[in-house]
Chain A
Amino acid sequence: MSLAHRIIPCLDTDGERVVKGVNFVNLRDAGDPAALAARYNIEGADELVVLDIAASRDHRPTFLETIRRVAAELAIPLTAGGGVANVDEGRAILRAGADKLTVNTAAIRNPALLTALAAEFGSQAVVLAIDAKRVGDHWEAFVRGGSVPTGIDAIEWARQGVDRGAGEILITSMDKDGTRSGFDCPLTAAISRAVSVPVIASGGADTPDTFLEVFREGRADAALAASIFHDSIQGLGALKKYLGEQGVSVRQSA
């Protein structure tokens, strides 16, 4: 008996529709979030993440409606985020039906936001998302959808974020994102060693072996992927069956 490694499909949206792109650019339409959510709920996803990658204030009511539509399809946990900059915006996302929030840019600008969100909703509801890119001999955190460097060390930021109240880290490798060349195991392992909270690895998912690697070498607690699931390149049931056969604790699909 042990905690299962989670497999988490991610819906990157423009607020309303699922979009996808490589390295955060060249976005194209990939479907209706509620329809995909319904599919993943049945296929055995352990959790779902829905992000508003446009994250513009004007779109916020649309995104909240998207969260409601997605949550209505799920009997599994839902994490949502994109542009959350204060407690009220966080509350709106949780009230719309999310169980957890992700915060990224606003937390780097104002780390006290993590403390405020944790005090209001509990650390278990606060996921610190970090977009990291290899720069020289370390990983640097980037913000605004990965477009703006911060000069902040991603590992150190993860550690600080947890001290401030984050209950989970979602680490995205910008070097790997959209490449289907495997997760960034050294980055994920470095984050995992630095913090005591669960770590979700993101960016680079491909074959079942890439998931096996990020759970073993990357010491990830959960692995997130988008297009390989949206495009049915990888089925959730087959992936979990393979991981189970390899001795990884997973919740087999019903």
Chain B
Amino acid sequence: MNIALVEYGAGNLPSVERALARLGVESHRASKPEELAGCDALILPGVGHFGALMRSLGERSLVEPLRNAVAQGTPLLGICLGLQAMFATSDEAPGDAGLALFPQKVSALPAVDRLPHMGWNQLRRAQPSKLLERVPEDAYFYFAHSYAALDAGDAGVAYCDHCGSFVAVVEQKNVFATQFHPEKSGPVGAQILTNFLRQADTQARQAGLPGRQAGGSA
């Protein structure tokens, strides 16, 4: 499979690369618009600031190519800030538009509990999830963030409770994302990456068959 990590100057690419390598999967980095086309799957990792991420994508002219790749059915996995970037806007950078794959916004978590939300937490599942297949209900995942989407409509498949409820996993057709870091979440995190790759493989094969619509998830 041809798997590209979107490189935009920040983000923790090496840890995602190592996590994929442990699964025996090779990946490469894509930092130019033309490199986003023709991939079997894209991964958008992210740490840091929403505005910095969107400005970096903008400076590299990657925003439209990313949106186009998704529209054409390329499976995309967003991680942490990569999930937040899929939304329309964020409280963290009110002037910067997100990728707007989802119309909702990213909010600052209210300071009810300790912030940043840092460490291992469990999920509350709301809908059947491809990413969470074969993952125990009580599994813990590693989070490190102070902002989150509180709502993702039908795309919100799992939530987490800290400073209130927020979206932990989104899935819609070929778009997948986790607010936690699967690459830092031990064996259950590896299962999430495996599940994404399996979905990407299925969708890529479906897209390659005549008469099948690209990006149609089974």
User: What residues make up the interface of A, taking CB atoms closer than 8 Å to B?
Assistant: 1-4, 6, 41, 46-47, 71-72, 75-77, 94-95, 97, 99-100, 121-125, 167-168, 196-198, 221-222, 251, 254
Contacts and interface: CB of A to CB of B under 8 A. Distances in A.
B14 A71 contact: yes
Main secondary structure of the interface of B (DSSP, over half): mixed
Contact of B140 (A4, A95, A97, A196): A4
Contact of B185 (A71, A75, A168): A75
B92 to A, nearest CB: 10
Interface stretch (B25-33, B54-62, B119-127): B119-127
B185 A46 contact: no
Contact of B114 (A72, A121, A125, A197): A197
A198 B117 CA distance: 8
A246 B60 CA distance: 52
A140 to B, nearest CB: 25
Contacts of B181: 77
A120 B183 CA distance: 22
Contacts of B185: 75-76
Contacts of B114: 3, 196-198, 221
Interface of B: 12, 14-15, 18-19, 22, 47-49, 111, 113-124, 140, 142, 144-146, 160-162, 181, 183-190
A240 B167 CA distance: 28
A71 B18 CA distance: 9
A34 to B, nearest CB: 13
Contacts, number: 99
A143 B140 CA distance: 36
10 contacts: A1-B123, A2-B121, A76-B142, A77-B142, A100-B144, A122-B49, A124-B145, A168-B116, A221-B118, A254-B187
A99 B186 contact: no
A122 B120 contact: no
A168 B120 contact: no
A66 to B, nearest CB: 15
B191 to A, nearest CB: 11
A75 B119 contact: no
Contacts of B12: 94, 99
